[in-house]
Structure 1
Amino acid sequence: MQKQTALRLSEVNLLVVTDVHSFLAAHLHADGMCGVERCDASFGALLSFVQHLRAAGDKQGKDVFFFDNGDVVDGTGLSSATPVHGKAVLPLLTSLPLDALNCGNHELYQSRTVLEGLLGTVGPRPSFVGSWNGTYLTSNIVLASSGAPLGSRFALLKGRHGTRLLVLGWLYEMRDHCAAVNVTKIAAAVSEPWFAAAMAHAAHVDAIVLLAHMHYADPLVGEMLAAIRRAVGPAVLVQVLAGHSHIRASARLDARAAVLEAGHYADTVGFASFNASRGVSLHHSFVHEYVHMSRASLAAAAGVAAAAFDTPAGLALSRRIDETRDALGVSTALGCAPRTYRASAPLGADDSLWSLYLDVVAPAALFTPARNASQCFLTSTGALRYDLYAGRVTRDDVAMVLPFEDRLWVVQARGDVISKALASLNSGSAGGEDGEEGERPLRAEQAALPRYAATPSALAPEQLFDAIVGDFDRDAVAGAIRTAGGAAVGPPVRYDKAAVAARSIAPPPTDTDAWLRWARTLPQPPCGVASR
């Protein structure tokens, strides 16, 4: 990537972060996500950046809008250290001057995150959703209890310099959500009266912005745009801000519409900029840029000197983030890793995090007793989300590797049945559809990995095994095993309730706890110089 220069503002200017996954603090490691720089900008630095860019816009009489596109929970210890995932993250986000927010799929996996995190109140303070005064957008997410939208269907924004936007917030057609919500299909949502009411405002805005928590090339993007074009015609400018797939990408959708997706894990601030126009020009110009979440890049993009970059509000938020992390103990050291293990490395490689999981962590810390020959473990390979770095391993490092804290289940079946089920899962004839349901989708850098993996890799065909599986994979894996084994296979039972011969210790309550157990067996700090 070329050296960052100051962003050039047009009449309509949009900043967006997506799939932050609770990476509110600066990245702990030089993980390559910000090129040669470390992603050393916390959300306090992000706040300083937005304030500086808006000040530059004020001097030019131009508005700068700021959005979050969902998936703010699950990813670091800051999210998983509280019983309600994300409960410590959400209050920190309210310090950001966001104009609108979208809801991601990770906010919807646990009913407690919805009911206590997003909607819960403490004393006189409003809920997280309520604190945004109608700009937390859930165009196709409704509460199961009432059918009312979780947030607002749409919002009308007006900048201080007169720019007007109609903003909607969409989620892909998620099926594996918690019981607290329902997700409406796009075709059904755009046929509802509220959508027609929203489109009636299109004649009075400079552009429509779609916060779309889905891959930038998802066919649903085209479906939403087609619904807008049917309602308001070809002249209205449309900017889609996509997400979910954790990549940087952009594309033109038609002569007056474009889409931008801006990374993940707080490695990117996306910038979309264009002039307002009511014409029907064939190639309206959209500018899309990606700004690394490093302090140097943010300062350069804002056009300010590094020494003058931090604002009082930004510094205050950085302190709150650090204080919250300290209070939760996420920086507590567990042990010392001898080398760096990569989540994207192929199975069998010396630095493969998956080989470490399957060959060492699961047999030693997941099986009870350790290396129990009557147990096996199956998991989808989207589960490990981040590399494990050489040297000091903290609770935060473990949470970044495996943040979900899935409860564990057991399905009992013969080895040949489990092997047949695993082959079926990896062939695509069982499990999820298009990587959205039943498995955590692999990222591009994980292409060398199978969709599902197991340990041990070879099972004695006639032997009866307790197949251990996590919450997220339970239905897909148990379904494949039942399909392969027929009526002889019973339903899954909780691992901590299952009878296991010669059990010497209680099993870990979650898959993440197995990693914590293993990390505590590592040599203790201070850590020596280790290979990276």
Structure 2
Amino acid sequence: MKELAIKKDVDLLIVDSGDLHDGTGLSDGYPPGGVDAHDSNEFLKRIPYDVMAIGNHELYLYENTLDMHQNFAPALKGRYLSSNANITLLDQNNNTINVPVGERFAKFETRKGRKVTAFGVLFDFTGNSKNTTVQKVADMVKESWFLDAIKDEPDVFLLVGHMPVARDNCKPLPLFDSWVHLTSNNHLQGPLVFDAIRAVHPDTPILIFGGHTHIRDCLQLDGRSMSLESGRYMETVGWMSAKLDECEDGTKNITFSRRYLDPNRVTYEYHTGRNNRTFDTPEGKNITQGLLDLAERFGLNFTYGVAPNDYTISQVPYPSNTSLLSLFIEEAAPTALAINNTRSSIPSLMIINSGSQRFDIYKGPFTKNDQLTASPFADAFLYLPEVPLNAALEVLAALNKAGEARRRDLEEEFYARGYVGKRYMEWLEAMDKRHGGAERRAAQNLTLGYVTSDSCPGVGDDTLHAPLSFYDTPDFVASKTPDVADDAPIDLVFVDFIENQLVGILNSVQSEKNFTTADVQPYSPFLATEVLGLYAQAAWN
């Protein structure tokens, strides 16, 4: 594509809006003593990115953030941007210093001489590890370094942000997440970074690339900008074009286009004008072989068992025999967590957040890579002993059916810690309803996939699909209710991600005992990432 751009005498910028950790065996399947994504990132270093931005998944574990700061960011030579994300280190004199993980901004010229000022901004994330900090975007735009960076007018501003472009997880208004701010009296303010730039440069072109909420989306905040969000998990390659040369007076609307590309070889061959014989390059073949070698080294093809069916998160009802949530919490977790567990004979109720399951399982061999893809979060299982069963069941109900104010608080708290399931599920549901999903699937003339509606003109999807079927799922799911008396004491088991919320709700639904986090104990040596594999070994062989 870079070669094609030279032939066409245009500039081509390759950008990435964050999250290089969690969700694939190539990043997460490292052996003991390794660092998540360290090996897989070696291949990303070989791609000629012009700008990359930090994501929240780079900040959950300090060792991952440190690896990005020390080993990954330097390879991008000033183009790995973390405008509002810092890491705490010791300098040569053992003094504590707080520095950006990458760079706060970048200024560079394109091949054709266009001046670019770029930022890489993270939403107001609160789930970061100790010794990392995320500054609120509202505060970042007041910093002297930011104001200095936007003082001189470039030919184009490039905002690459790990945040949605049009709305956030909780608020029904069209927003721009942390680039938008609701005041304490709920008055809507404009997109923060965009507005800060527009206050100084009202007509300079602004190209915005978002992310985080896993959806395909696009909008234009004015006629000289476009904002594009390109899905999740490398399921979409987002394309934006802007004809910057056609508006000589610098105030007229710019002609933009956008496209959501399905990432597969057919798509790539079509858009590069190549065929199966001419598409591959020596570097591409070398990277492919390197990834295969890494998969072999990590043992990602190890097969735990053979899945008898597809198990999906939202394409079938919950509960049901082919629901991944049902499989995980009703079958897999009770089986796996009973292994080497002295408390396995004690009745229990297990609760997880449904967002802990991130990808479907397909019928056939279930490998180590599949396990890490479906359930990538290394959550620990904890428990509270001697909780009355009826109180435990009320906790589940309260988590799922909290009052409006409490539910909003929970949603905002989980969203701030990185949970985006609600927004993605809303998008899937709207897609199925808006585009006549049942009828289009029945016609059987299109493959299943995303059918995008956004705020930009024209059709965005590069390949036409019938929308995926959608069934609503609760935010929290539980194992089967133990066959004991309503007031019988049980172990209330849960993942550490929801510890504080669960303990607080438990105290709100019963008054016999005031539980604290000091009462919480480890339940199993196995992590959530191991549950499906342990179950498959026991049940699918």
Return the TM-score normalized by structure 1: 0.80
SS in 1 for 2:507: helix
Task: State the distance in 1 between where 2:40 and 2:521 align.
Answer: 30
Partner deviation per Cα, 1:6-64 (whole Å, 9 max, x = no partner):
xxxxxxxxxxxxxxxxxxxxxxxxxxxxxxxxxxxxxxxxxxxxxxx211111122111
**Is it true that 1:132 corresponds to 2:76 in the alignment?**
yes
Q: Give the match for residue 347 of structure 1.
A: 318
Change (3 A) 1:404 1:492: farther
- Matching residue's letter, 2:496: D
Partner deviation per Cα, 1:90-112 (whole Å, 9 max, x = no partner):
21211111111101111111111
Partner deviation per Cα, 1:428-482 (whole Å, 9 max, x = no partner):
5263417513573323247600111111357853122222222322222233223
- Matching residue's letter, 1:437: A
Change (3 A) 1:249 1:392: same
Q: Give the match for residue 67 of structure 1.
A: 15
SS in 2 for 1:416: helix
1:386 corresponds, among 359, 371, 379, to 359
Q: Give the match for residue 266 of structure 1.
A: 234
**Is it true that 1:491 corresponds to 2:499 in the alignment?**
no
Contact 1:247 1:264 in 2 (8 A): yes
**Is it true that 1:426 corresponds to 2:400 in the alignment?**
yes
Change (3 A) 1:160 1:280: closer
SS in 2 for 1:254: coil
- Matching residue's letter, 1:244: H
Change (3 A) 1:301 1:439: closer
Shift of 1:405: 1.5
Contact 1:333 1:394 in 2 (8 A): yes
Task: State the distance in 2 between where 1:407 and 1:493 align.
Answer: 16
**Is it true that 1:292 corresponds to 2:262 in the alignment?**
yes
1:410 corresponds, among 363, 368, 383, to 383
Partner deviation per Cα, 1:456-514 (whole Å, 9 max, x = no partner):
35785312222222232222223322333455324266754x6xxxxxxxx34211222
1:193 corresponds, among 133, 144, 156, to 144
SS in 1 for 2:228: strand
Contact 1:346 1:448 in 2 (8 A): yes
Q: Give the match for residue 196 of structure 2.
A: 227
Contact 2:503 2:516 in 1 (8 A): no
Task: State the distance in 2 between where 1:439 and 1:163 align.
Answer: 35
Shift of 1:279: 3.8
Partner deviation per Cα, 1:324-376 (whole Å, 9 max, x = no partner):
11101011111111111111132122311111112211221124469745222
**Is it true that 1:244 corresponds to 2:212 in the alignment?**
yes
1:118 corresponds, among 68, 86, 99, to 68
Task: State the distance in 2 between where 1:175 and 1:278 align.
Answer: 44
- Matching residue's letter, 2:158: V
Contact 2:56 2:418 in 1 (8 A): no
Partner deviation per Cα, 1:166-206 (whole Å, 9 max, x = no partner):
110001000111112111111110000111111023x2x22
Contact 1:364 1:371 in 2 (8 A): no
Change (3 A) 1:335 1:153: same
Q: Give the match for residue 102 of structure 1.
A: 53
Shift of 1:84: 2.4
Shift of 1:415: 2.0
Task: State the distance in 2 between where 1:434 and 1:269 align.
Answer: 30
Task: State the distance in 1 between where 2:481 and 2:47 align.
Answer: 47
Count of paired positions: 453
SS in 2 for 1:349: coil
Shift of 1:244: 0.5
Q: Give the match for residue 45 of structure 1.
A: none
Contact 1:216 1:250 in 2 (8 A): yes
SS in 2 for 1:418: helix
Partner deviation per Cα, 1:362-412 (whole Å, 9 max, x = no partner):
221124469745222111111111111111110011111101111221123
Change (3 A) 1:495 1:340: farther
**Is it true that 1:375 corresponds to 2:348 in the alignment?**
yes
- Matching residue's letter, 1:242: G
Shift of 1:85: 1.9
Q: Give the match for residue 4 of structure 2.
A: 56
**Is it true that 1:472 corresponds to 2:516 in the alignment?**
no
Contact 1:342 1:386 in 2 (8 A): yes
Q: Give the match for residue 436 of structure 1.
A: 415
Q: Give the match for residue 50 of structure 1.
A: none
- Matching residue's letter, 2:233: Y
User: Unpaired runs of 5+ in structure 1?
Assistant: 1-52, 121-126, 499-506, 525-532
Contact 2:127 2:418 in 1 (8 A): no
User: Unpaired runs of 5+ in structure 2?
Assistant: 90-96, 168-175, 180-190, 429-469
**Is it true that 1:150 corresponds to 2:119 in the alignment?**
no
Task: State the distance in 2 between where 1:374 and 1:112 align.
Answer: 37
Contact 1:337 1:522 in 2 (8 A): no
SS in 2 for 1:488: coil
Task: State the distance in 2 between where 1:315 and 1:322 align.
Answer: 11
Task: State the distance in 2 between where 1:331 and 1:243 align.
Answer: 30
Change (3 A) 1:223 1:351: same
2:293 corresponds, among 288, 299, 323, to 323
Task: State the distance in 1 between where 2:487 and 2:398 align.
Answer: 19
- Matching residue's letter, 2:206: V
Contact 1:170 1:210 in 2 (8 A): yes
Contact 2:212 2:420 in 1 (8 A): no
Q: Give the match for residue 374 of structure 2.
A: 401
Return 375-384 or 74-83, whichever deviates more.
74-83
**Alignment RMSD (CA, Å):** 2.2
Runs of 4 or more off by more than 6 Å in structure 1?
Answer: none
2:225 corresponds, among 236, 257, 275, to 257
Change (3 A) 1:80 1:490: same
Task: State the distance in 2 between where 1:381 and 1:213 align.
Answer: 22
Return 212-221 or 368-377, whichever deviates more.
368-377
Task: State the distance in 2 between where 1:188 and 1:113 align.
Answer: 25
Task: State the distance in 1 between where 2:496 and 2:252 align.
Answer: 49
Task: State the distance in 1 between where 2:253 and 2:535 align.
Answer: 56
Shift of 1:295: 0.5
Contact 2:330 2:478 in 1 (8 A): no
Q: Give the match for residue 479 of structure 2.
A: 455
Task: State the distance in 1 between where 2:518 and 2:268 align.
Answer: 49
Task: State the distance in 1 between where 2:278 and 2:249 align.
Answer: 41
Task: State the distance in 1 between where 2:414 and 2:383 align.
Answer: 24
